Amino acid sequence: MSGDSAGSSAPIRTLGILGAGKVGTVLARRALEAGYEVLISGSGDPAAIALITSVLAPGARAVRPEEAAREADAVILALPLGRFRELPVEALRGTLVIDAMNHWWETDGASEELGGPAASTSELVQEHLAGARVVKALNHMGYHDLDERALPAGDPDRLAIAIAGAPDDADRAARLIDALGFDPLVIGDLRSGVRLQPFAGAFGAATDREGLARIIEEFPRTERGREVLAALEPAALEPAAGGNGSMDA
pLDDT tens-digit readout, 120-133 = 899 999 999 999 99
Structure confidence at residue 57 (pLDDT): 95
Structure confidence at residue 223 (pLDDT): 94
Examine residue 180 and state whether it is found in any structural domain, yes or no.
Answer: yes
Examine residue 242 and state whether it is found in any structural domain, yes or no.
Answer: no
- Domains: count for the chain: 1
Examine residue 169 and state whether it is found in any structural domain, yes or no.
Answer: yes
Identify the CATH number of the domain in which residue 155 sits.
3.40.50.720
Examine residue 53 and state whether it is found in any structural domain, yes or no.
Answer: yes
Crossing angle of helices 167-180/22-33, nearest 10°? 80
Q: Which domain holds residue 228?
A: 5-237
pLDDT band for position 118 (cuts 50, 70, 90): low
Structure confidence at residue 28 (pLDDT): 98
Q: Is residue 104 classed exposed, middle or buried when 0-12, 13-18 and 19+ CB atoms within 10 A define those classes?
A: middle
Structure confidence at residue 214 (pLDDT): 98
Examine residue 245 and state whether it is found in any structural domain, yes or no.
Answer: no
Rounded to 5 degrees, φ, ψ at 96 are -70, 120
123 versus 119: which is more confidently predicted? 123
Residue 105 has pLDDT above 70, yes or no: no
Structure confidence at residue 235 (pLDDT): 45
Structure confidence at residue 30 (pLDDT): 97
Gyration radius of the chain's alpha carbons:
17
Residue type, 33: E
Structure confidence at residue 119 (pLDDT): 76
Distance CA 63, CA 89 (A): 17
For the beta carbon of residue 76, count every other beta carbon within 10 angstroms.
29
Contact 69, 93 (CB under 8 A): no
Structure confidence at residue 248 (pLDDT): 34
Residue 215 has pLDDT above 90, yes or no: yes
Sheet holding 96-99, edge to edge: 61-62, 37-41, 14-18, 74-77, 96-99, 133-137, 160-164, 183-188
Q: What sign for the dihedral angle of Cα 81, 86, 88, 90?
A: positive
Contact 216, 148 (CB under 8 A): no
Structure confidence at residue 243 (pLDDT): 44
> Residue 100 contacts by C-beta under 8 Å, 6 or more apart in sequence?
23, 27, 76, 77, 78, 137, 138, 139
Residue 117 has pLDDT above 80, yes or no: no
Examine residue 232 and state whether it is found in any structural domain, yes or no.
Answer: yes
110 versus 39: which is more confidently predicted? 39
Examine residue 193 and state whether it is found in any structural domain, yes or no.
Answer: yes
Task: Encode pLDDT of 216-241 as tens digits.
Answer: 999 999 999 999 988 886 544 544 45
Examine residue 246 and state whether it is found in any structural domain, yes or no.
Answer: no
Instruction: Compute the half-sphere exposure of residue 125: CA atoms within 13 Å on the CB side of its CA.
Output: 31
Distance CA 224, CA 111 (A): 17
Task: Encode pLDDT of 126-167 as tens digits.
Answer: 999 999 999 999 999 999 999 999 999 999 999 999 999 999
Residue type, 189: D
